[in-house]
Amino acid sequence: MTLGLFDDLPPAPQAPEWLEPGAVVLRGFALPLAADLLQAVAHIEAHAPFRHLVTPGGKRMSVAMTNCGPLGWISERSGYRYGPVDPETGKRWPRMPSLFQQLARDAAEAAGFAGFAPDACLVNRYAPGTRLSLHQDRDEGNYAHPIVSVSLGIPAVFLWGGAQRADKARRVPLLHGDVVVWGGPARLRFHGVLPLREAEHPLTGAHRINLTFRRAG
Ligand code: MD6
Ligand code: FE
């Protein structure tokens, strides 16, 4: 039974789940903003379509990606880099909505990283079967800034590894509205995403959307 009286209240904040010092899962942190975030993604996608990047090694990534903000993350034959222009359109990446900036700042602060001002937001789209193998986020100039990663849509299992690729990775289920922040001593941890299972979400259909905020410049 539910009490109608409480139906309009925001969800109760959940305790942060620390993966290790510097790395935390904030359950449901983005939930109140989810519909607005997805509307903004639709706008971004209309200007900078999702595409499957090819790794410098020549493999097509199963994750579809686009970006917003002053800098976008791209893959080229010569390697990964951040740049102000979308190579597909020749135009600058769409602006980072202030809602995105505020969410990233608030989540980073909740994880102990005050004053985070991202200049890059990588938008990732996963379909069932899409995976992301273990990697480090190491194309940013300055590892003093954390990474903020927002999950929307269908569930995923996040892999949280160690300092070496071969280190045993922990499996962390991520649901719609969950936010993971990693920085400080955990900034260069290996991480990835297991192949997504078939699922449907009322706001995203058969997709997971991940927003990854960085300070790249
Ligand atoms: C996630 N994504 O989707 C985590 N990193 O939950 C990443 O770690 C990531 O999607 C680098 C490039 C693309 C990504
Ligand atoms: Fe990553």
- Residue 175 forms part of a structural domain: yes
Kindly state if the Cβ of 107 falls inside 6 Å of ligand 1: no
User: With a 6 A CB cut-off, is 158 part of the ligand 1 pocket?
Assistant: yes
Q: What is the C-alpha separation between 146 and 114, in angstroms, rounded? A: 10
For the chain, give the mean pLDDT. 95
Q: Is 42 helix (H, G, I), strand (E, B) or coil?
A: helix
Query: Per-residue pLDDT tens for 178-199?
Result: 999 999 999 999 999 999 999 9
Give the domain extent around 44. Answer: 33-55+64-214
CATH of the domain at 177: 2.60.120.590
Between β-strands 17-20 and 23-26, what pairing exists: parallel, antiparallel or unpaired?
A: antiparallel
32 alpha-carbon distance from chain centroid: 17
C-alpha dist (Å) from residue 65 to 16, 122, 123, 126, 211:
28, 7, 6, 9, 10
For ligand 1, whether the C-beta of 82 sits within 6 Å is: no
Is residue 178, in this structure, part of any structural domain at all?
yes
The answer to whether position 9 is within a domain reads: no
pLDDT of amino acid 133: 94
Q: Which two tokens mark 80?
A: 């990964």
Report whether 65 contacts 80 (CB < 8 A).
no
Average pLDDT over residues 66-78: 94
CA of 201 to the centre of ligand 2 (A): 23
- Domain annotation covers residue 2: no
Residue at 25 is within a domain: no
Q: Is 1 helix (H, G, I), strand (E, B) or coil?
A: coil
**Burial class (CB within 10 angstroms; exposed 0-12, middle 13-18, buried 19+) of 38:** middle
Residue 10 counted as domain residue: no
| Residue range 72-83: mean pLDDT, rounded | 92
The structural domain count of the chain equals 1
Given a cut of 80, whether residue 5 has pLDDT beyond it is no
Q: How far is CA 30 from CA 119, 169, 202, 210, in A?
A: 19, 25, 16, 12
pTM, full prediction: 0.93
Confirm whether 39 is domain-assigned: yes
Bridge pairing between strands 79-83 and 23-26: unpaired
pLDDT at 1: 52
Q: Whose CA is nearest to atom 3 of ligand 1?
A: 210
Pick the more confident residue, 189 or 57: 189
- Is 137 part of any domain? yes
> Distance between CA 177 and CA 92 in Å, rounded?
28
User: Which residues, 6+ apart, have CB-to-CB distance to 99 below 8 Å?
Assistant: 33, 36, 37, 40
pLDDT band with cut points at 50, 70 and 90 for residue 141: confident
Work out the pLDDT band at 76, boundaries 50, 70, 90: confident
